[in-house]
A and B are shown apart, each in its own frame.
Chain A
Amino acid sequence: MSETETLPAAGSAPATAPLLSVRNLRVEFPTRRGTLVALDDVSFDIHPGEVLGVVGESGAGKSMTGAAIIGLLEPPGRIAAGSISLAGKRIDNLPYEQMRRIRGREIGAIFQDPLTTLNPLYTVGRQLVETITTHLPVGPAEARRRAIEWLELVGIPAAAQRVDSYPHEFSGGMRQRVVIALALCAEPKLVVADEPTTALDVSIQAQVIALLKRLAREKGTAMMLVTHDMGVIAETADRVAVMYAGRIIEIGAVRSVVKEAAHPYTAGLMGSIPPISHRVERLEQIDGAMPRLSAIPPGCPYNPRCPRVFDKCLTLRPELLDAGATRAACWLYDPK
């Protein structure tokens, strides 16, 4: 499995060395009633400057993947197997202090709800300045100048005055712009954006995504973009990973996944996607529900809901297999 994954996914990833490389990642939560496997055998790459979209139903493990990458899994959750490498160096087993220096500096993070992400008692300027001076060799005056510059970059009007405002003095959309500035201000090479627009008003979601996309392109920042919005994925991502029950069940170039989805689950999701001009806000509903972590069926985890299930699916678990334009974890693409 891991040998095949190190090859770039068919016809999609650029032929450079990956910036982020996640291999066979397994995250477990020990509980009183046994160990829950929240992520199982998750492997993917993100190349410099590339945007990887991550989609999947709520509870599929998208946030967990992001938390594992930035090294902030909540105890007792832990990485039980696999590896995460950044620019060729393992980062999943670093001591807290070393990983701390990577957070913000090499990997930025954007959270879902801008109303709760900012410290209410600090001005946005102070939060920017402390992030900049923590990671970059600049003094307070220069950090403040850069803080104002970042606020301008993310489109805060009258940034020079607003730098001394508190978070509650901004609207939700403006606060998310501040969060984006905070995630990017130490110039990380990778940003993990976990549903950055889900909590925002529908009318401003597109603006915030456009801002994120523009900044990532200008700064050459790679991005892992978690979202429910297939329209956003189609417009923003280079490649897409589809997650289901803690696994990646399909991954490939965005056009291929949207237009020629190989996995029955992805096909169901994309089933009624109208042309890009008609935006779909939510993933298509599929009958049934994703299994809870404590009740993942043997074999293919999608088998209870799959319209194309056959006997092999009930006992053996499919790995990611070449499936035409994408790679899909489905026995339909078993060459044997």
Chain B
Amino acid sequence: MFAFIVSRILQALPVMLTVSLISFAMFAYVGDPVAIMLGQDFTEAQRQALVQQLGLDQPFFVQFATFLGNAVQGEFGLSYRLSRPVAELIAERAPATLELALCAAFIALAVGVPMGVYTGLYRHSWLSRFFLTFSLIGVSLPTFLIGILLILTFSVWLGWLPSFGRGDVARLGWWSTGFLSWSGIKALILPAITLGLFQLTLIMRLVRSEMLEVLRTDYIKFARARGLPNRMVHFGHALKNTLVPVITIAGLQLGAIIAFAIVTETVFQWPGMGLLFIQSVGAADIPVMAAYLMLIAAVFVTINLIVDLLYYAVDPRLRIGRGGGH
């Protein structure tokens, strides 16, 4: 078990290294940070001092090693735009994005899995047809359009929910949460639906096709032949066997949700990391962009590891060492 985790972490290292290299290259070679930070009027001495301070006079590998060393400690330098430590900026914004992403993922799973099971079991019912049509819309409409339509309906016409911002946030240590106030919860609803809708339809279609596949297997026929009630056959034997692929996709999708929160955060002016990233792109704020990239890569790698561990929990065939079986 421990060896398994270690091997997975080792496998993730090259990925992280590549991403850091890209981030670093961006950091070091895209734009001229010195020019950006100094502004219009500066002396050559000031310029030299800043070049030295940023370590830009060092050889490539020394610079990269320094960058990596700092990155590991969560140190990404100062934002060009806001002149504040990048780590601080991201830590400030992370809770908003994570709460939004988790809500979106929760909606996607809590609604998508039952809909998938239902459409798999009752393929020809009119409700299944409705769900499938609905899922086509979810897949084909771009996220920003869904967001705008939701704002139009629930904020502009009905006036039920706010169209932007996070509402009132409470502080729990360094974490800021919107879950503790009514306005925070209301503000979360539309962005979470917007962000989760695509994943919801994806998970529904995945669960449906996996269900159809599993229901054809001999062990399901045998479970019926043993006289087990449908409830046990469908929600025990069948659903559990659809879980392995669902866990993979759901895990990858959680990464995608965090990464693609950018669009939703922009539409709803949600003060998360995605919005920070977009604002940084506008200002060519390279340190923030580099840090964000690495953070997203780290999120994907971590989620992959968790997904692998979940497999382990679900499928006993993986628990036996290599070879297993007979």
Contact = CB atoms under 8 A, between A and B. Distances in A.
A186 interface: yes
B160 interface: no
A116 B227 contact: no
A119 B320 contact: no
A120 B217 CA distance: 11
A117 interface: yes
Contacts of B228: 100, 104, 130-131, 134
A102 B225 CA distance: 9
Interface in B232-253: 232, 237, 240-241
Contact of B317 (A101, A105, A168): A168
A121 B326 contact: no
A107 to B, nearest CB: 9
B326 A131 contact: no
Contacts of B314: 121
Contact of A131 (B227, B320, B325): B227
Given A166-B317, A169-B326, A120 B219 contact: yes
Contacts of B225: 70, 72, 103-104, 108-109, 111
Given A121-B241, A166-B317, A168-B324, A116 B224 contact: no
Nearest to A126: B236
B241 A119 contact: yes
A113 B218 contact: yes
Given A121-B315, A169-B320, A179 B224 contact: no
Contacts of B241: 119-121
Interface residues of A, number: 34
Contacts of B219: 116-120
Contacts of A171: 326
A72 B232 contact: no
B227 A111 contact: no
B87 to A, nearest CB: 43
A121 B247 CA distance: 15
Interface in A87-120: 100-105, 108-109, 111, 113, 116-120
B213 to A, nearest CB: 13
A103 B226 contact: yes
Contacts of B230: 100
B47 interface: no
A118 B226 contact: no
Contact of B217 (A70, A102, A116, A168): A116
Contacts of A166: 316-317
B229 A169 contact: no
Contact of A169 (B223, B224, B325): B325
B129 interface: no
Interface string A155-175: 000000000001011111000
Nearest to B240: A121
Contacts of B84: none
B317 A134 contact: no
B227 A103 contact: yes
B222 interface: yes
Contacts of A119: 219, 223, 237, 241
B224 A111 contact: no
A182 to B, nearest CB: 6
Contacts, number: 88
Interface size range of chain B in the complex: 20 to 34
Contacts of B222: 109, 111, 117-118, 179, 182
Interface string A56-85: 000000000000001010000000000000
A237 B241 CA distance: 38
Contacts of A108: 225-226
Contacts of B316: 120-121, 123, 166, 168
Contact of A186 (B223, B224, B227, B229): B227
A170 B326 contact: yes
Interface string B91-119: 00000000000000000000000000000
A135 B232 CA distance: 13
Contacts of A182: 222, 226
A99 B42 CA distance: 89
A168 B219 CA distance: 13
Nearest to A118: B219
Interface string B202-228: 000000000000000111011111111
Interface in B287-326: 314-317, 320, 324-326
A104 B229 CA distance: 11
B227 A134 contact: yes
Contacts of B240: 121-122
A116 B226 CA distance: 15
Contacts of A103: 224-227
Contacts of A169: 320, 324-326
Contacts of B317: 120, 166, 168
A105 B230 CA distance: 16
Given A119-B237, A120-B219, A122-B237, 19 more contacts: A70-B225, A100-B224, A103-B225, A104-B228, A109-B222, A111-B218, A111-B221, A116-B218, A116-B219, A119-B223, A121-B241, A121-B314, A121-B315, A123-B316, A131-B227, A169-B325, A172-B326, A182-B226, A186-B227
Shortest beta-carbon contacts, A-B, top 7: A104-B227, A103-B227, A109-B225, A116-B218, A166-B316, A104-B226, A119-B219
14 contacts: A72-B221, A108-B226, A109-B222, A109-B225, A117-B222, A120-B241, A121-B315, A130-B228, A131-B227, A134-B229, A168-B316, A168-B326, A169-B324, A182-B226
